[in-house]
Structure 1
Amino acid sequence: MDWLSDHAWVPWLAVAILLGTAEMFSLDLVLIMLGVGALVGMVVALADGPAIAQILAAAAAATLTLTLVRPPLVRRLHSGPDLQQGHDKLVGLQAVVLQEITSLQVGRIKLGGEEWTAAPAEPAVTIEPGVTVEVREIRGATAYVVAVPDPS
């Protein structure tokens, strides 16, 4: 028991290392905040603080980091440009009409090197082959398009 009372910082360090390692698997930023609390407990132990002071300091640090540090970190990590996946990334791209598109009959477009079934995004519209169109929406395997005004 003498060794443990002389080296009270060792269990705190071990707990901090275990929590840091476990955080690598959870990636939720909770365990790392608890690990910070354990490191604060270790610092108090290194300063020869009593066990109750170590526990209170560790609990206070963990609580503060969980309530004040973690939320902005999580917001920052989850912010940024929206990740578009699948068909969503095709919306807004331009394509060329290969087969006439009308409101009564679907046509074909060349979009991103692939042929797609296409329908007009607006009612009662006919789009001739060779016209550049913009994809407004993808539903199933059909792209809903509008003609892009000719720049000239």
Structure 2
Amino acid sequence: MNDIDAWAWWLVGAAALGIPLVVTAMPEFGMLAVGAVAAAVVAALGLGVVVQVLVFLAVSVALIAVVRPIAARHSRQRPQLATGVDALKGKQAVVLERVDGSGGRIKLAGEVWSARSLDTGRAYEAGQEVDVVEIEGATAIVI
């Protein structure tokens, strides 16, 4: 196998590693593919097979050791931007109809919501501002 063939085979290997990356969505295959591309570069420079394999292993292992923990840490983080009902928690609302432990109506984020008081003994009269602490179904729990 001459030097030109070696780099071509490394690129074929990189492309072959891209298939399971797409099918399984396992980023490790992508890191191995990058290692194969690095080995193709080394092969194109005319270095021997042993150096090519060592570069492939070094780059692949380095990427897996460095990138994988960073990606895992980012995947466990909650999104910075709250959306849906999560975005409504902590917002202020205006009472439209008396809100107590059994129900009522509030205006929250420009929409009319059913609401009930977190403290069943507490009531809020029309016009008062309340804070939303939770959303249960289509009902806002307020204090």
Q: Under a length normalisation based on structure 2, what TM-score does the superposition of the two structures give?
A: 0.80
TM superposition shift of 1:12: 1.3
SS of residue in 1 equivalent to 2:140: strand
Matched, 1:106 2:103: yes
TM superposition shift of 1:77: 6.6
Residue identity opposite 2:109 in structure 1: G
Q: How far apart, in 2, do the equivalents of 1:118 and 1:80 lie?
A: 27
Residue identity opposite 1:16 in structure 2: A
Hey, what does 1:51 align to over in structure 2?
A: 49
Structure 2's unaligned 5+ residue stretches are none
Q: Which moved more, 1:21-30 or 1:119-128?
A: 21-30
Q: Is the 8 A contact 1:33 1:70 kept in 2?
A: no
The partner residue of 1:86 within 72, 84, 87 is 84
SS of residue in 1 equivalent to 2:35: helix
Structure 1's unaligned 5+ residue stretches are 147-152
Q: How far apart, in 1, do the equivalents of 2:133 and 2:115 lie?
A: 11
Q: Is the 8 A contact 1:138 1:144 kept in 2?
A: yes
Q: Which moved more, 1:10-19 or 1:77-86?
A: 77-86
Q: How far apart, in 2, do the equivalents of 1:78 and 1:116 lie?
A: 32
Aligned CA-pair RMSD: 2.6
TM superposition shift of 1:75: 2.9
TM superposition shift of 1:86: 2.8
Q: Is the 8 A contact 1:12 1:41 kept in 2?
A: yes
Hey, what does 2:136 align to over in structure 1?
A: 139
Q: How far apart, in 2, do the equivalents of 1:53 and 1:44 lie?
A: 8
SS of residue in 1 equivalent to 2:100: coil
Q: How far apart, in 1, do the equivalents of 2:120 and 2:106 lie?
A: 18
Q: How far apart, in 1, do the equivalents of 2:140 and 2:43 lie?
A: 65
Residue identity opposite 2:105 in structure 1: R
Total equivalences in the alignment = 142
Identity fraction in percent: 38
The partner residue of 1:128 within 107, 125, 128 is 125
